[in-house]
Amino acid sequence: MKYDKNNIFAKILRGEASAEKVYENEFVFCFKDIYPKSKIHILIIPKKEYLDIYDFSKNATTPEKESIFLAFENLIKFYKIEKSGCRIITNQGVDGRQEVPHLHFHLLGGNDTGKMTSI
Ligand code: AMP
């Protein structure tokens, strides 16, 4: 899988497609998933073009990495789910069934998110 500058998240970042923003910092943009799988379903994406978690782990700067965790912290606080909990996942590549080729984390919560998918 290669980075495609025309992927939908790149378009959202460039303001060419709309999204319901819930949080933003210097390096990260967060918005509601268009097909929510839980009451709360937020996508957390880096503003820079990273294909997936491996690309990001290898190439992102420390402030960019910290910003992802800062976003998690702020979203958990914002939705007041510190106690009830949530699931944060990222899909990578073919086996991970990644659909959009721009790194994204899913934050799911507001209800029981069910067991992890079976293998
Ligand atoms: P993944 O399978 O991990 O690549 O997840 C891609 C996610 O992006 C899915 O949960 C989609 O519902 C979501 N999605 C696709 N297009 C949009 C969009 N325009 N705005 C918000 N979420 C989107």
pLDDT at 80: 98
SS3 assignment for 45-67: EECCCCCCHHHHHHHCCHHHHHH
- What is residue 26's three-state secondary structure? coil
58-65 long-range contacts (CB < 8 A, ≥24 apart) are 63/26, 63/27, 64/27, 64/28
Task: Record the pTM.
Answer: 0.97
* Residue 105 to residue 107: CA distance in whole angstroms: 6
Chunked into runs of 10 residues, the chain (119 residues) has average pLDDT values of 94 98 97 98 98 98 98 98 98 96 98 83
Instruction: Tell me the CA–centroid distance for residue 33 and ligand 1, in Å.
Output: 6
Cα atoms in the Cβ-side hemisphere of radius 13 Å centred on 70: 14
Ligand 1, atom 8, lies closest to the CA of 33
Is 106 among the catalytic positions? no
pLDDT at 1: 80
* Residue 60 to residue 54: CA distance in whole angstroms: 10
* Residue 73 to residue 77: CA distance in whole angstroms: 6
Pocket around ligand 1: residues whose beta carbon is below 6 Å from it? 8, 17, 19, 33-35, 43, 91, 97-100
Ligand 1, atom 5, lies closest to the CA of 99
pLDDT at 2: 87
Nearest atom within ligand 1 for CA of residue 37: 10
